[in-house]
Amino acid sequence: MTTSIIITLCILILLAYLFDLSAAKTRIPSVILLLLLGWIIKQLTIFFQVVIPDLSALLPILGTIGLILIVLEGSLELELDRSKLPMVKKAFFVSFFPILAVGLLLAGLLSYYSGYGFKQSLVNVIPLAVISSAIAIPTAKNLNSYNREFVTYESSLSDIVGVIFFNFIALNAVINGHAFFEFGWQLLLILIVSFFATVGLSYLLGRINHHIKFIPIMVMLILIYTVSKIYHLPSLLFILLFGIFLGNLDALKQYKWIALLKPDSLDKEVHKFREIATEAAFVIRTFFFILFGYLLETADLINLQTLLWAGIVVAAIFLIRAIQLKLSGLPLFPLLFIAPRGLITILLFLSIVPEDRIPMVDNSLIIQVIVLTALIMMIGMMGVKKEKPAEHKPIHEDTHP
């Protein structure tokens, strides 16, 4: 039995690696193939009557760790200089306003048709308004350098803004001045925690001489994130800031206190840390989406009662995204299509307390929206021409549809 499990896990990882390698040529996002692989495994276990224990409890655990590693992986690759500020500002507005607009629009529709209160409806639809960095960042690797960096900023910020917005609405019984004061205090506190934790972990990364040093740092990252989450702090912001800091030590050498960290020697460790973070994110992401595909119920996927609502949600997502991209002066192609829902949607949906659940927003609706947005992204990416490595076009020079 143990041997069979080990062989199965090895084969799954190798298949996921092949999916990742083939994505650049086939334009099929690996997440689609991983979900399909998980679903096929489920059908095989049913056909051959293989008894598998309930694995649903693993989904939020893998999802949380995967989200941390994916945001860390993306933030380590981001460059910090003044020339990036216009892009960061656009990425923030393109991530923030669609969450607000999609959330308010869908909450209004849900409240009208279901009869539930607007606030309760908003809690249920926010998960559908957030872009999944777990899907967007790996897919963006096929884009040119500017668009790839933009998608990394946008999807990471979407995760952070989405989690903050969800917690703000879900945890406050009444939205008033006191609620905004608490929110401001929590934001200030996580910035203070981020500063000291980032400096401390960076110091340890450069000073630990033991042959095992990167895994303890990652474990401490997950620990700080989890403890911060218990106190309802926007802990993903800490992960993003930590990654950006480590990835931009060269740009920060001008500050005297940075010299205490010995940035030249630390920079070498950061490169190794980035490689391990990338590979760890790949493994966790692989098992998360295979497990999610395995847990998919075919009846939920083809549920005609929720399919119309799923279509309305997806139409609202891409309509508002198109408007926001136009208002921001960004080309629709290919950025319009990169608005997948996925890991963060599932985590937020699972975070809704039972008394706030609305029956219309069920597993079927969540699954259908995730699959539809992933398929639309796949179709859009098939029209993307592969950029030559030497080319670094600004975004306004990209080909318009």
Which backbone phi and psi does 296 adopt, to 5 degrees? Answer: -65, 135
- Asked which of 84-93, 310-319, 335-344 is least confident by mean pLDDT, the reply is 84-93
Q: How confident is the model at residue 348 (pLDDT cuts 50, 70, 90)?
A: very high
- Distance between CA atoms of residues 72 and 274, nearest Å: 9
pLDDT at 42 over 70: yes
The pLDDT tens digits for 50-80 are 888 899 999 999 999 999 998 898 888 877 7
* Averaged confidence pLDDT in the chain: 88
pLDDT at 2 over 80: yes
pLDDT at 295 over 80: yes
Q: How confident is the model at residue 239 (pLDDT cuts 50, 70, 90)?
A: very high
Higher-confidence residue: 389 or 109?
109
Which structural domains are found in the chain, ordered by start?
Answer: 11-385 (1.20.1530.20)
Structure tokens belonging to residue 70: 């994916």
What pLDDT, on the 0 to 100 scale, is given for residue 250? 73
What pLDDT, on the 0 to 100 scale, is given for residue 386? 61
Instruction: Let me know if 369 is exposed, middle or buried by CB neighbors in 10 A (0-12, 13-18, 19+).
Output: buried
Q: How confident is the model at residue 389 (pLDDT cuts 50, 70, 90)?
A: very low
Long-range contacts at 266-271 (CB < 8 A, ≥ 24 apart):
266/202, 266/205, 266/206, 269/205, 269/206, 269/213, 270/76, 270/205, 270/246
What pLDDT, on the 0 to 100 scale, is given for residue 396? 44
pLDDT at 391 over 60: no
What pLDDT, on the 0 to 100 scale, is given for residue 223? 95
Among 274, 343, 330, 334, residue whose Cα is nearest residue 75: 274
Q: How confident is the model at residue 303 (pLDDT cuts 50, 70, 90)?
A: very high
Average pLDDT rounded to a whole number, residues 202-208: 86
Instruction: Let me know if 181 is exposed, middle or buried by CB neighbors in 10 A (0-12, 13-18, 19+).
Output: exposed
Q: How confident is the model at residue 207 (pLDDT cuts 50, 70, 90)?
A: confident
Q: How confident is the model at residue 263 (pLDDT cuts 50, 70, 90)?
A: confident
Q: How confident is the model at residue 395 (pLDDT cuts 50, 70, 90)?
A: very low
pLDDT at 317 over 70: yes
Average pLDDT rounded to a whole number, residues 124-140: 91
pLDDT at 268 over 90: no
What pLDDT, on the 0 to 100 scale, is given for residue 146? 86
pLDDT at 398 over 70: no
Among left, alpha and beta (phi > 0; psi -120 to 50; other), residue 294 is alpha
pLDDT at 210 over 90: no
Q: How confident is the model at residue 387 (pLDDT cuts 50, 70, 90)?
A: low
pLDDT at 45 over 50: yes
Among 344, 364, 374, 369, residue whose Cα is nearest residue 63: 344
What pLDDT, on the 0 to 100 scale, is given for residue 126? 96
- Asked which of 19-33, 36-50, 369-383 is least confident by mean pLDDT, the reply is 19-33
pLDDT at 175 over 90: no
DSSP state of 211: S
Do you know the residue count of the chain? Answer: 401
